[in-house]
Amino acid sequence: MTRTALVTGGSGGIGRAVAQRLAADGMNVLVHYAGNPRRADEAVDAIREAGGTATAAQADVAEETEVAALFETAEREYGGVDVVVHTAGIMILAPLAELKLDDLDRMHRINIRGTFVVNQQAVQRVRGGGAIINFSTSVVKLALPTYSAYAASKGAVDALTPVLARELRGRDVTVNAVAPGPTATPLFLDGKDESTIEKLAKQPPLERLGVPDDIAEAVAFLAGPARWVNGQTIYVNGGIA
């Protein structure tokens, strides 16, 4: 039986790399997007051109009915869901004293509520032998200035992931989180000057920024052979912390 993966935020950046990697590993992939159907179609086309199977679907990850419909689409198209990778999230940076509370609320809604909503649907639908993979961030440990609100929203992901793993006792479904470090995506690079980027690239012992495929490699491990890794946050950052 061909396994099926649902990848939220799968239309760009790390999410797209994850969708393409899981498709290359032989999975059917439902590529979720929030508001840019053109990018989602491009991701699906790239998967199909490489010989994989994929479709795209839109949803607000913080809305229960829309996320339920997303899973129903995967079930209708492919017969079920085996792997859920929740990469969708937003990042708004500012010193804590200057952070707009509306921005805090937006990150809370997408990054925390969205994770709960996607995980709630996942636990009802993921088949035995499956995996739920959330996304955290290495900034939770790095404590970089201006990242307080974003890191706090991802700290919630670190907290809920092992709890959910234990709640799924007896289901043969693993629950883990991936915590990327500085990764060369448009989301990360936006607003940073060359000197800042160069400084960040020098921090890991490997002396480079991560790329989306580095993160996708870890996701593929958790989605496939890593059946004895459960309830963990895996730091994928080249040794930066």
Q: How many domains does the chain have?
A: 1
Question: What integer best gives the mean pLDDT of the chain?
Answer: 96
Residue 158 placed within a domain: yes
Q: What percent of the chain has pLDDT over 90?
A: 89
**How far is the C-alpha of 215 from the C-alpha of 48, rounded, in Å?**
21
CATH code, 14: 3.40.50.720
**Does residue 164 fall inside a structural domain?**
yes
| Least confident window among 21-30, 79-88, 197-206 | 197-206
Query: Which residues, 6 or more positions from 85, have their beta carbon under 8 angstroms from its beta carbon?
Result: 5, 6, 7, 8, 10, 15, 18, 22, 133, 135, 219, 223
- Does 171 reside within a domain? yes
Does some domain include residue 98?
yes
Q: Is residue 221 part of a domain?
A: yes
Report yes or no on 43 lying in a domain.
yes
The predicted-structure confidence for 115-135, as pLDDT tens digits, reads as follows 999 999 999 999 999 999 999
Report yes or no on 41 lying in a domain: yes
Q: Which amino acid is at 46?
A: A
- What is the domain extent for residue 27? 4-183+212-234
91 falls within a domain: yes
Phi and psi at 120, nearest 5°, equal: -60, -45
pLDDT in tens, 4-52: 999 999 999 999 999 999 999 999 999 999 999 999 999 999 999 999 9
Strands 53-58 and 81-86: unpaired
Known catalytic residues are 150
pTM: 0.96
Two structure tokens written together for 122: 């996942």
